[in-house]
Amino acid sequence: MESSRRSTSTRTARSQRCRHDRRFRTCPGSKPGHGSAGPVRTDNRSLRAGIRARRRRRRTCPGFDPGHGPRRQFVSAAETVTLTIDGRAVEVLKGTGLVETAAFAGIEIPVFCYEPRLGAPVGACRMCLVEVEGIPKLQAGCTLTAQDGMVVGTGATSEKAAEGQNATLEFILVNHPLDCPVCDKGGECPLQDLTFRYGPGQTRMTFPKRTLDKPIPISPTIALDRERCILCYRCTRFSESVAEDGQLVARNRGSMSMIATFEDEPYRDPFSGNVIELCPV
């Protein structure tokens, strides 16, 4: 009886040791209820080989510094470009838009249609005209990206670019009503601000302005004023790319272009209020 108790206690101790010691495991041939057939030491060679393999991979990794662990990754010089804007050398990441590059250097390139949150630029308003060395014609700055060695002149230093911006504003104001004192946007209007800074001091147009029916209630909360619209297409791009409802569209072509709703249906969209904030006028 005493030997039986001793053997039972021995098996219990072995089982507990197997559970708490990683170096031991229960023999696969043991049966439930009969205890373990005895502790068997596992072969750790595969585990050690895996550890050595991981160490070798770390040593060959480009970001590993022996003795100091992973080192910080820095942007290489090949990923940055240096260009000149209005005589100032600017270094930015390759692919940065020219408008953002100029803003980084403290230089303003005026824009109306440009809005990075609406996707790729379209260059519709032509307010961002700049002169690029080596290109005979003025370019829309919002559609350009920073290139190494590029030399750019904005309206502040380039007479050609200044004349282009002046003419752009003059064309925008041809049929635009001059009712700033009673306009809801007066005092916080980008068109008003840019006209004071870049536009002509007086108009050369003596003929009557074109008039259109207004306001047009395109939704229960939005009224469209086509006389004040400068066709920046921010609203239609928002409808197409962000809201993805396709309810706001541009009709006709040339000087007869206008914003409308698709098939004159009411503009009913849960995000419709955003077009009011996006509209520059």
Domains and CATH numbers, the chain: 1-24+36-59 (no CATH), 79-182 (3.10.20.740), 210-278 (3.30.70)
Predicted pLDDT at 55? 63
Interval 233-256 mean pLDDT: 89
- Calculate the average pLDDT of the chain: 79
**Which SS3 state, helix, strand or coil, does residue 199 take?**
coil
Whether 250 contacts 237, CB under 8 Å: no
**Which SS3 state, helix, strand or coil, does residue 233 take?**
coil
Q: How many CA atoms lie within 13 Å of 65's alpha carbon, on the beta-carbon side?
A: 6
pLDDT, tens only, 160-215: 999 999 999 999 998 888 888 888 888 889 999 999 888 888 888 888 888 888 88
pLDDT, tens only, 57-115: 655 544 444 444 444 444 455 589 999 999 999 999 988 999 999 999 999 999 999 99
pLDDT of 22 over the 50 cut: no
Interval 38-46 mean pLDDT: 52
CB under 8 Å, gap of 24 or more: what pairs does 155-162 form?
A: 155/110, 155/129, 155/130, 155/198, 156/86, 156/107, 156/108, 157/86, 157/87, 158/130, 158/131, 160/131, 161/129, 161/130, 161/131, 162/198
Q: Which helix (H) or strand (E) holds 209?
A: none
> Which amino acid is located at 91 in the chain?
E
Bridge partners (DSSP) listed for residue 131:
153
pLDDT of 264 over the 50 cut: yes
pLDDT band at residue 219 under the 50/70/90 scheme: confident
pLDDT of 27 over the 80 cut: no
